[in-house]
Structure 1
């Protein structure tokens, strides 16, 4: 069976459409399936739409978070509660084409264990959003050491790959990079990003920046290495300034000190403050890991086979 995990945040306008379209595609291809919708603390009627869809389709399951925990938490909650022999992750807004699921499933039947959805085109975007997205992917590709320029969260994974991901102990997980990091036999399927039919994109320039910083820190230590590089560069600069100052002093042309001292203080002070900020951010993430709080809290659940509304807490 194929489990399709669909994180949903304020997607009441698209949820019924997504449930109906994906179900139709998979039923036409004769693929046994379940759809696992994860309501990530939506402020609209997303959960009511999930309940309505589940009432009309026994293949639909729902998870309701107690509050917004973020897309990564929603993905991992969906995978943890999926029962399929393989699991796919896709967006609830149908910008990931459901037809590609069939191609991914056929590749899984051939023995591939991780099938990556690779963007052939990004669809229609504003100039500012395209530029910020491009900067985001360049930053994150350099930091994690994986080409993320065309990567997406649209993937299909074998149960063993899903179990490997769920066994990773860190709470601040970057699904898009970790699904490549775990290895396994991999294939890719190209797709064109579809236009959103209703609702609004949740990704602004600022949210992309926050997403990049959070996931770079979660997956890579490169920013910490940049602190060392900055220290070396400042040391070299200080050595050059020191040699120049001593040379002019012994030649009898001492450099006037005020401007030079102020510049050095500003440069060194800036590097120190930025370095402390980077180190502090890593320490805050270590603090979050050490506290051992759950990645998410589930307040309601609808099972595809047996529906309950019991409040519960997951510790994974």
Structure 2
């Protein structure tokens, strides 16, 4: 069986359309399936639409969070509640083309355990958003040492890959990178990002920046390395300046350098505070991990609840 996981936040107008579109394609291909909507604390009627859709279609299951925990938590909740032998994760707004699911499924039948959805084009975006997204992917690719320039959350994973992902104890999980990091026999399919039919993207430039910082810190120690490199460069600069100052002093050419001193203090002080900020952010993430709070809290479920444990 194939499980399709769809995180949803304020997507009341897309629930029935997504279920009908995906279900129609999979039924036409005679693929046994279930659809799992994960309501990430929506403030509109998303959950009511999930309940209504489940009454009309027994292939649909729903999970509702007690509040908004974020897309990463919603995807992990979908994986934990999926009962399929393979699982596809995709966006509820259908910007990930549902027709590609069939291609992924056929590759899985050929023995591939992870099928990555790779963006051929990103669709229509304003210039500022495209530039910020490009910078985000460049930074995160260098930090996690995985090419994320065309990566997406749209992918199929075999049951063994899903279990490996769920076995990781970390609370701040970066799904897009971790699903590549676990390995297994992997291939990819290209797709064109579709235009949203209803509503607007939930990803603003501010949320992209916050998302980038959080995921880089949770997956990589690159910022800590950057602090060390900055400290070394600052030390070398101080040594050179110190030698120059001593040479001028002993040669009798020393001049008042009040402005230079102030600038050096300001620059070094800023670097120190930035470094402390990075270290403090890592400490905050460690603090969140050691508290061992759950990734999310489920308030309600609807549907058959055919989880993998029950099937076994």
Which TM-score applies when normalising by structure 1? Answer: 0.96
Alpha-carbon separation, structure 2, partners of 1:255 and 1:41: 64
The corresponding residue for 1:311 is none
SS of the counterpart of 1:72? helix
Q: Residues 245 and 255 of structure 1 are in contact (CA less than 8 Å); yes or no, is this contact kept in structure 2?
A: no
Structure 2 counterparts to residues 99-138 of structure 1, below 5 A: 99-138=99-138
Relative to 1, partners in 2 of residues 1:191 and 1:248: Cα closer, same or farther, differing over 3 Å? same
Deviation of 1:256 after TM superposition, in Å, equals 1.2
Alpha-carbon separation, structure 2, partners of 1:20 and 1:8: 16
Structure 2 counterparts to residues 245-260 of structure 1, below 5 A: 245-260=245-260
Alpha-carbon separation, structure 2, partners of 1:234 and 1:259: 18
Alpha-carbon separation, structure 2, partners of 1:221 and 1:256: 42
Deviation of 1:94 after TM superposition, in Å, equals 0.1
Deviation of 1:260 after TM superposition, in Å, equals 1.8
Deviation per residue, 1:2-56 (Å, 9 max, x gap): 0000000000111111111000011111110000000000000000010011010
Deviation of 1:305 after TM superposition, in Å, equals 5.8
Alpha-carbon separation, structure 1, partners of 2:168 and 2:295: 12
SS of the counterpart of 1:148? coil
Alpha-carbon separation, structure 1, partners of 2:158 and 2:271: 46
Structure 2 counterparts to residues 200-279 of structure 1, below 5 A: 200-279=200-279
Q: Residues 34 and 304 of structure 1 are in contact (CA less than 8 Å); yes or no, is this contact kept in structure 2?
A: no
* Gapped regions of structure 2 (runs ≥ 5): 307-312
* Gapped regions of structure 1 (runs ≥ 5): 307-316
Q: Residues 54 and 304 of structure 1 are in contact (CA less than 8 Å); yes or no, is this contact kept in structure 2?
A: no
The corresponding residue for 1:179 is 179
Structure 2 counterparts to residues 1-316 of structure 1, below 5 A: 1-304=1-304
Q: Residues 143 and 220 of structure 1 are in contact (CA less than 8 Å); yes or no, is this contact kept in structure 2?
A: yes
Which TM-score applies when normalising by structure 2? Answer: 0.97
SS of the counterpart of 2:119? strand
Deviation of 1:304 after TM superposition, in Å, equals 3.1
Deviation of 1:208 after TM superposition, in Å, equals 0.4
Alpha-carbon separation, structure 2, partners of 1:236 and 1:155: 46
Alpha-carbon separation, structure 2, partners of 1:80 and 1:119: 26
Alpha-carbon separation, structure 2, partners of 1:90 and 1:131: 24
Alpha-carbon separation, structure 2, partners of 1:120 and 1:79: 26
Count of residue pairs the alignment pairs up: 306
Q: Residues 81 and 305 of structure 2 are in contact (CA less than 8 Å); yes or no, is this contact kept in structure 1?
A: no
Q: Residues 5 and 88 of structure 1 are in contact (CA less than 8 Å); yes or no, is this contact kept in structure 2?
A: yes
Q: Residues 174 and 215 of structure 2 are in contact (CA less than 8 Å); yes or no, is this contact kept in structure 1?
A: yes
